[in-house]
Amino acid sequence: MNQERLRYILCVLNRYELSLREEWFVEALKKYFNENGKITDQQESVLEGIYKEKTWIRKTFLGQSSSLKAAQMHPGRSQHR
């Protein structure tokens, strides 16, 4: 993982509520990166997994939220066309 991708993922994850375990992992990963200038393949895999999970959850719930708001605004209109 290049440094730019790592910084991007860490920046995005700052916007999400992380579990305590996820927070510990991210902090340990930052420390490891600062000390070694890179992260391991395993660390990269776990970080990508956390990132994908958080962004998927947000997209899923925001999509449902938008559909619900549209249905409330137009109760007689079907959302499936």
Listing DSSP states for 11-63 in one string gives HHHTTSPPPHHHHHHHHHHHHHHHHHSS--HHHHHHHHHHHHHHHHHHHHHHH
Task: Using CB atoms within 10 Å of the CB of residue 66, give its burial: 0 to 12 exposed, 13 to 18 middle, 19+ buried.
Answer: exposed
pLDDT, residue 81, reads: 42
Q: What is the pLDDT of residues 25-79, one digit of tens each?
A: 999 999 999 999 999 999 999 999 999 999 988 788 776 554 444 444 545 544 4
pLDDT, residue 62, reads: 73
Give domain limits for the chain: 3-68
pLDDT, residue 58, reads: 79
CA distance 38 to 44: 10
pLDDT, residue 1, reads: 87
